[in-house]
C-alpha cells in the first residue's frame, strides 16, 4: 500500500509556495506532498527531500530524477548540517509530516504495527543498532514504564512494564505477537477505536527512533534557517507530538522570531477521513518567520 499524504490542500494553501523558492520536505517518504511542491516551485526552484529510510528512497529515486529536486538520505534532525553542506544559508518553506508511512505499517516487516507477527524491530533507519526488542528485553521496569507513559500516555504503564519484566525472565521478547499477548493480559482484548497495544507500540517506536529529540532539533533548525516571511508547517499524529510542536512554536513566538499562523491546529475534513482513515488524528500547525 502506498502512503496517502494527509491535509494536502491545507499544507499547500498555508505554505503558499511560489515559483523559484527553496523548499525542504523533511519527511519525503513516497513524495506525496512533494509532487505538488515540485510543480509549484518550477524549474527555477529547489526542492530538497530528506528521508532516513534507504528502502523507501530506493523506491522513489527514479520518479524524482528532476533538475529541481535533490534527495538526501538523512534524519531531519541534521537539517542544519545538510543545508550547510549544500551551501544553502536560508530556505523559504519547510514541511514536517511526522506520520509513519503506510509502507512501514503494512509492508516493511519491522514490527511497527501490532497487527501482524513480525520481528520487534521498529527502526525507521535500519543502519541504527538499537531495536525495540533490545529495549523490551534490557530496559529496567521503571525505564519501560516511563517510556510507555511519557511517550504515549499509557495509563497502565507500570502494570505492563512489570508483566514484561516478569515474562522476559523466562523467555525473551522477539516478535510483535509476544508483546501483544502480554499487553492483552493486562488491558484485555476488548477495544473501541484503538487496539489495546496501540500506545505501547507507539511509545516503543518513538523510543527506538529517538523521535521527540529529533523533532525538537529539526524544527528548531528549520526556524533558524527560514528566510524572513518563510513558513514552517508541521503535521503531527498524536497528542505528544502536537504538544511538542505547540510548545516549540510558542517559545519562538514569545521571543518574537515567528508568528503563529494557525491559532488552532487544522484537522482533516470528514471527507478526507472517510477516504483515508489514517488521517483522522492528523493536526497541522504553521508558523512564519518574522525576524
State pLDDT tens for residues 163-173: 999 999 999 99
Stretch (H or E) spanning 71: strand 69-73
Domains and CATH numbers, the chain: 8-103+211-289 (3.40.50.150), 129-208 (1.10.150.170)
3-state secondary structure of 23: strand
Contacts of 277 (CB under 8 A, 6+ apart): none
- 221-259 pLDDT tens trace: 999 999 999 999 999 998 889 999 999 999 999 999 999
Per-residue pLDDT band for 147 (boundaries 50, 70, 90) equals very high
Q: What Cα–Cα distance (Å) separates residue 82 from each residue in 73, 86, 220, 228? A: 10, 6, 14, 20
Per-residue pLDDT band for 105 (boundaries 50, 70, 90) equals low
- Among 155-159, 188-192, 196-200, 285-289, the range scoring the smallest mean pLDDT is 188-192
Per-residue pLDDT band for 117 (boundaries 50, 70, 90) equals confident
What does the DSSP 8-state code read for residue 269? Answer: -
Share of the chain above pLDDT 90, in %: 69
Q: What is the pLDDT of residue 66?
A: 84
Q: Which of 117 and 95 is assigned the larger pLDDT?
A: 95
Q: What is the pLDDT of residue 191?
A: 63
d(CA 119, CA 148): 19
Per-residue pLDDT band for 180 (boundaries 50, 70, 90) equals very high
d(CA 47, CA 70): 6
Q: What is the pLDDT of residue 1?
A: 40
Q: What is the mean pLDDT of the chain?
A: 90
pTM (2 d.p.): 0.90
**Ramachandran region of residue 152, left (φ > 0), alpha (ψ -120 to 50) or beta?**
alpha
Amino acid at each position: 500500500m502506498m502512503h496517502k499524504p494527509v491535509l494536502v490542500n491545507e499544507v499547500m494553501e498555508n505554505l503558499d509556495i511560489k515559483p523559484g523558492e527553496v523548499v525542504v520536505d523533511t519527511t519525503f517518504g513516497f513524495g506525496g506532498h512533494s509532487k505538488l511542491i515540485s510543480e509549484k516551485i518550477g524549474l527555477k526552484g529547489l526542492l530538497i527531500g530528506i528521508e532516513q529510510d534507504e528502502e523507501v528512497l530506493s523506491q522513489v529515486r527514479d520518479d524524482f530524477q528532476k533538475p529541481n529536486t535533490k534527495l538526501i538520505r538523512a534524519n531531519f534532525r541534521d537539517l542544519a548540517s545538510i543545508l550547510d553542506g549544500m551551501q544553502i544559508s536560508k530556505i523559504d518553506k519547510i514541511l514536517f509530516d511526522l506520520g509513519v508511512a503506510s509502507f512501514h505499517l503494512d509492508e516493511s516487516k519491522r514490527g511497527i504495527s501490532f497487527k501482524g507477527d513480525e520481528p520487534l524491530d521498529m527502526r525507521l533507519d535500519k543502519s541504527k543498532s538499537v531495536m525495540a526488542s533490545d529495549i523490551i528485553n534490557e530496559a529496567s521496569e521503571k525505564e519501560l514504564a516511563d517510556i510507555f507513559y511519557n511517550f504515549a500516555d499509557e495509563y497502565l504503564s507500570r502494570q505492563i512494564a512489570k508483566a514484561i519484566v516478569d515474562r522476559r525472565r523466562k523467555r525473551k521478547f522477539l516478535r510483535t505477537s509476544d508483546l501483544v499477548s502480554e499487553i492483552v493480559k493486562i488491558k484485555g482484548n476488548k477495544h473501541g477505536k484503538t487496539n489495546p497495544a496501540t500506545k505501547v507500540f507507539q511509545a516503543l517506536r518513538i523510543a527506538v527512533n529517538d523521535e521527540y529529540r529529533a523533532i525538537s532539533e529539526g524544527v528548531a533548525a528549520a526556524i533558524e534557517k527560514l528566510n524572513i516571511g518563510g513558513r514552517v508547517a508541521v503535521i503531527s499524529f498524536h497528542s505528544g507530538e502536537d504538544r511538542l510542536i505547540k510548545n516549540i512554536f510558542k517559545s519562538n513566538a514569545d521571543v518574537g522570531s515567528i508568528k503563529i499562523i494557525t491559532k488552532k491546529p487544522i484537522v482533516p475534513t470528514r471527507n478526507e477521513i472517510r477516504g483515508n482513515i489514517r488521517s483522522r488524528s492528523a493536526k497541522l500547525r504553521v508558523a512564519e518567520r518574522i525576524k
